[in-house]
Chains A and B, each alone.
Chain A
Amino acid sequence: MKRALIKIWGDVVDAMELVFSILIISTTTMGLYFLAPQSDTLPLGLFFGLGGAIIGFIITIFLFKPKRIVTYEEEE
């Protein structure tokens, strides 16, 4: 399938990769949230969920590449 590049929120994304990023990060976030042990003193669910979000974020950074061509201006 031909990739669909889309402009959203000021930058270019690949539509399928965006869908997968949302799915992956949502899964790790909610997954860890549900795995959190019960606690009366600390909001462990929130901590675990946030940890999951960061894990998912890192996974997608390795999976997908930015749709930007970045170069330095020629130094004279």
Chain B
Amino acid sequence: MDITMIIWMIVAAIGAVVIFTIIGFIPGTDETSVLLPISLAVVLAGVPAAIVLTFFIASIVTLNITNSMPTALVGLPGGVMSSPMIEHSLYIKNEGRSAMIIKKIAASAVLGIAISIPISLVLANLLIPLAETIRPYGAYLFIAGAIFLSLISKNKILSLLAIIPLALMFQGLRFLYKGLDLVPENKTITVSFFLGITIGPLIVSLFSLLNKKILEQEKVDDFNKIVIPKEDLENTSVNPFKILTKEEKKKASIGALIVNFLFVLSPVGLTILFGNALNNRTKKPLDKASGSITTMSSIIQATYISGIIIPLLALGIPLSPVALGPGAALFNAPPVIDFENNLHHILTGFEFTVAVLIGATIALVITYFLIVKYARKITYIILKKVPHESVLGLFIAFILLLAYMDAGLINIFGVIMIGLLSGSLNKLGVNYGVQFMALYAAPLLIEILAKVV
């Protein structure tokens, strides 16, 4: 690792900050749907592994902070992870303290990252010996993972029942394409399939608008009215440790610490669980709301950091919801990387650590000061200038491109088909984690099923 490499890592981190600051402020953009395609493009472009990792870490750090901004300022969740904050931020908004809470969110994110990076690295290193013994069973692990994620999800039986039909669809398409000679014998299509899963809910929403009855129900009379709250004139400090109260610092730290050990569980679930549990006994409503949001902000960062670092460094197999969803491209993005040769195999422990540290530090420093100084202004400009139509159009075009690149015109319809089934299952309550696991488990699962007469 030389100086040029480090300079490129810094450039990549800054690039990630710019992209995800803009995306983060746009309300409603789901983390998996934005992180996966963009990191996938970076991997497929042939960017060196260390720079990919720096880029990805900078992306998640930035996105998780900026996503909370529309949540805190205008009450629209920036993404899935900030939805647990909505109730509390609406309370704070009504009290007229939104400007105070955005600084606390940023400060608490600093805490969450500072705690989770060292702990995740240590945990990953402790798990490496164990990883050697379980790696040969990788393919079985995915089946076990799909079942495990179903059993801990809200809709257990529904999720379990969804696994085989999903696997059948994926393998069905793969065999069809091979039968039609659309893809070479040794190529397994994965990229456009997981994009199909990701974009599923959006595809279902768009298709349902073609039904006149649903269209009528979804119609609204007026534009979205958004008021950006006042500047905070009380606490003008930019020092993250002076922005949080002692109690908030304590809870944010405990939360960030615990979730590292639970990296196989759903990030949003952990955020809701510990964000509320740690603040249940606070009496004053304003303190409770503010405490919950700051705790959540540090937990969100810690779930993402540990969810990507631990499976990637210890195992090279995506065994956490973060690794399966937003971080999937770091594990498997054929033809550039696959389960036998991904970031886990390419990077040494030292390179891995440097990449993580550079990505997180650069993203934190820039995002932190941007937020503390200009959160209101950025929110205003983005909400005023970037139409939602353009954002949706961009994602559709992106999926189209990658679907075509994988297996030609027919695969565009293949991806739409996946989107329709995955999106419908998603709306019924089968989460992304189960669906991604089903995709990885599909080859072995169908092979086993075929043998059972």
Contacts and interface: CB of A to CB of B under 8 A. Distances in A.
B396 interface: yes
Interface centre among B28, B390, B396 (most CB of A within 10 A): B390
Contacts of A28: 397
B222 interface: yes
Contacts of A9: 28-29, 202, 205, 388, 392
A15 interface: yes
B27 to A, nearest CB: 5
Nearest to A41: B46
Contacts of A61: 385-387, 390
Nearest to A17: B389
Interface in A24-72: 24-26, 28-30, 33, 42-43, 45-47, 49-50, 52-53, 56-57, 60-61, 64-72
A21 B223 contact: no
Contacts of B380: 70, 72
A33 B217 CA distance: 38
Given A22-B396, A53-B401, A60-B390, A8 B77 contact: no
Contacts of A14: 389
A50 B41 contact: yes
Contacts of B224: 11-12, 67-69
Interface string B60-80: 000000000000000011000
A68 to B, nearest CB: 5
Contacts of A67: 223-224, 387-388
Contacts of A45: 405
A10 B227 CA distance: 16
B230 A73 contact: yes
Q: How large is the interface on A (under 10, 10 to 19, 20 to 34, 35 or more residues)?
A: 35 or more
B389 A60 contact: yes
A46 B45 contact: yes
Nearest to A6: B218
B390 A8 contact: no
Nearest to B99: A73
B145 to A, nearest CB: 29
Nearest to A4: B219
A8 B206 contact: yes
B223 A12 contact: yes
Contact of A26 (B209, B215, B388, B397): B397
B393 A25 contact: yes
B394 interface: yes
A10 B71 CA distance: 12
Contact of B387 (A5, A43, A46, A66): A66
B223 A18 contact: no
B397 A33 contact: no
A25 to B, nearest CB: 4
A8 to B, nearest CB: 5
A69 B76 CA distance: 14
B390 A57 contact: yes
B405 A46 contact: yes
A13 B228 contact: no
Contact of A21 (B220, B390, B400): B390
Contacts of A11: 27-28, 76, 224, 388
B220 A6 contact: yes
A56 B396 CA distance: 12
A53 to B, nearest CB: 5
Given A15-B209, A56-B393, A65 B387 contact: yes
Contacts of B202: 8-9
A28 B229 CA distance: 38
B41 A46 contact: yes
B388 A49 contact: no
A57 B76 CA distance: 23
Given A5-B220, A57-B394, A13 B389 contact: yes
B219 to A, nearest CB: 6
Nearest to B389: A21
8 contacts: A9-B29, A18-B392, A53-B394, A60-B393, A67-B223, A69-B225, A71-B226, A74-B230
Interface of A: 4-15, 17-18, 20-22, 24-26, 28-30, 33, 42-43, 45-47, 49-50, 52-53, 56-57, 60-61, 64-76
Given A73-B228, A73-B229, A75-B231, 6 more contacts: A9-B28, A10-B77, A17-B389, A26-B397, A29-B401, A74-B230
Interface of B: 27-29, 41, 44-46, 76-77, 202, 205-206, 209, 215, 218-231, 376, 380, 383-390, 392-394, 396-398, 400-401, 404-405
